[in-house]
Chain A
Amino acid sequence: MPRLSYRRALTRALGDELARDEAVFLLGEDVQVGASLVTTGLAKRFGTERVRDTPLSEQAFTSFATGAALAGLRPVIEFQIPSLLFLVFEQIVNHAHKFPLMTGGQCSVPVTYLVPGSGSRTGWAGQHSDHPYSLFAHVGVVTVVPATPADAYGLLVTAIRHDDPVVVFAPAGAMDVRADVDDLTPVPLGRGRIHRFGDDVTVVAIGHLVHDALAVAEEVADQVSVEVFDPRTLYPFDIDGLAESVARTGRLVVLDDGNRSCGMAAEIIASVVERVRLLAPPRRVTRPDGAVLPFAPALDRAVQPGRAQLATAIHLTMKDSS
């Protein structure tokens, strides 16, 4: 069984899709050399026409991709920094996302926006450490946050083949995860995955936090039986899968690397309690409201949701229902 890193899984997905479909092309900043270490070797393999370095013009190249998609191609854009998504939010939401409806179904805009290294990169401070996936779920753009190498491969492939815009967040905290992967296949959108079965509480963890949730589940295993649910896609969300899990465990804790107000955790909790009667109030572990990640490593860590906070939330949830 070959061992594959998350980062290489993304490279493999890009390479496989570029090879499979002439309509696929890649653009972004420093993608030919592969500064992100994700697009490594692709320019050599597929040529600089299809693996295009762009000037630093995020708004123009994002809408350039929209135009190319309207003309029948399948662009993939790599963004160097998660906060660049703020710069192109208008181009994605107001144009790429709205064109199919506004034209009355005359077109599709199959663009993939790939963000390798989303969230904290430790030491990159305030403007490089955001995790704005909830914004895209809010506006209804398909949003995926894979946690494992197999899902990174499978969801990126699916994103590229999908007929609507898709944002792919590849968390910095997951980029170096390695796993034994024998089968690289597309992963369907909107389908979560239970990484660990349990009886007492369902922990929903997003992206790299899945690995933290699994570690905590192991730590507390002698006291609490934790089920770990990884939604994989944030929009559309696998609410059926999660409701089924919570209906069994009766308790819900969400671990989310977004800010608290209007965050994914809030949406997940609301969607579950609309359908399932819980044994205890649900809990969420998130970044604080309005968080800006401070530079000093200890401060950066303090603002991110952590394992100790999750363990506490699990214990409190158990206590609340006893």
Chain B
Amino acid sequence: MTDADPVRLYRTVRLIRRFEERAVELVHGGQIVGGVHPYLGQEGIAAGVCAALDADDVLAGTHRGHGHVLARGADPARMLAELCGRVTGLNAGRGGSMHAADLSIGVLGANAIVGASGAIITGAVWAYRRQGRDTVGVSFFGDGAVNEGMLLEAFNLAALWRVPVLFVCENNGYATTMPVAGAVAGSIAGRAAAFDIPAVQVDGQDPETVRVAAAAAVDRMRAGGGPELIEARTYRFDVHHTFEHAVRLDYRPPDEVTRGRARDPVRIQGERLTDTDRAAVDAEVEATLDAAVRFAVSSPEPDPADALTYLYASGLTARAGGG
């Protein structure tokens, strides 16, 4: 049961694109501290994959994680409030950009540790299925994660126990400044093959192509299949992290950046809509984000006295640090 509506797919990529652009503005304006890892250019992957999921499904993302949370349907206003560190944020201001989570819609969190999401999602999906749900899961990670032992161990565990997890590698060519060629021996799909995990490479810049590949994998998994892997080739349009807006790091040749930016998932999906439909979506997204920004920046900041509220789910309280 996948959402094949091209208008909705366009809305998702457009929402993520404009959300990220707004977030970068808020970083420059000082309302978001600590910066963000923009998902600009990679929107088609989160949008396409999440369009293939059902309500009971779960996902976990990465440090570059806004797109996954938004594509799954989190409230952009509460997401932006989280980035601004407000009590109204998804995580009550305790998580920020790299930890945004909304468990009510199956988002077990962006995760700032490269390669961490695979094992967590594998355990969650296994547990939900043991409790009778028809859950499948998605683990998003970058090309940098494919050299993390923890993720490769998770491939093995998911394949061995036939846990239906879709491993989605967002191959944007770089881990920070390290090109894939300098880091990956063998290939990404070859890692999946070693565990008998079916793998496909897709054009991550085309949201519909990603959706079709994800939907096919999800169908097979729901029919009793084990984990699968999609390597989505993509390009990050902007910086690794917004700190690079202040410090220029020289690692991507300008002509490569120009070529990369030419394949724009928002434009590619937008061309599948009539001008009227596209304009309507754009206006609606703009209104949503205007409201989200107003909500975020006008929301109250958390009380410092509550800094460690939520440290323990059991209600244990930690000793204070003062003398």
Interface residues of A (CB under 8 A from B): 49, 54-55, 57, 59-73, 75, 90-91, 94-95, 99-110, 140, 142, 162-164, 189, 236
Closest to A66 in B: B120
Do the beta carbons of A67 and B94 come within 8 Å of each other? no
Contact partner of B91 (CB less than 8 A), chosen from A103, A142, A163, is A103
Cross-chain contact A107 with B103 (CB below 8 angstroms): yes
- In Å, the complex CA distance between A68 and B101 comes to 16
* Residues from 64 to 99 in B contacting A, C-beta threshold 8 Å: 89-95, 99
* Closest 7 pairs (CB-CB, A-B): A67-B123, A104-B92, A108-B313, A60-B153, A64-B123, A63-B119, A71-B127
Binary flags per residue of B117-152, CB closer than 8 Å to A gives 1, else 0: 011111111111011000000000000000001100
B128: chain A residues within 8 A (beta carbon): 71-72
Listed by A's residue number, 17 A-B pairs whose Cβ atoms lie within 8 Å are: A49-B130, A57-B156, A63-B120, A65-B123, A66-B123, A70-B120, A72-B128, A99-B109, A103-B99, A104-B92, A105-B309, A106-B102, A107-B101, A107-B103, A163-B314, A164-B313, A236-B316
Complex: chain A residue closest to B122, CB-CB: A64
**For the complex, is B312 an interface residue (Cβ under 8 Å from A)?**
yes
Which one of A49, A57, A108 lies within 8 Å of B157 (CB-CB)?
Answer: A57
Q: How far is the CB of A233 from chain B (nearest CB, A)?
A: 11
Across-interface contacts of B119 in A (CB, < 8 A): 59-64, 66-67, 91
Interface size on B, as a range, is: 35 or more
Within 8 Å by CB of A67, from B104, B124, B153, B309, lies B124
> CB of B108 within 8 A of chain A?
yes
Tell whether B243 is near chain A: CB-to-CB under 8 Å. no
Binding site for A on B (CB under 8 A): 58, 89-95, 99, 101-104, 108-109, 111, 113, 116, 118-128, 130-131, 149-150, 153-154, 156-157, 160, 308-316, 318
Do A103 and B157 contact each other (CB < 8 Å), given the known contacts A64-B120, A72-B127?
A: no
Neighbouring A residues of B130 by C-beta, 8 Å: 49, 73
B95 is contacted by which of A62, A95, A104 (Cβ under 8 Å)? A104
From A63, A75, A102, contact of B94 by CB (8 A): A102
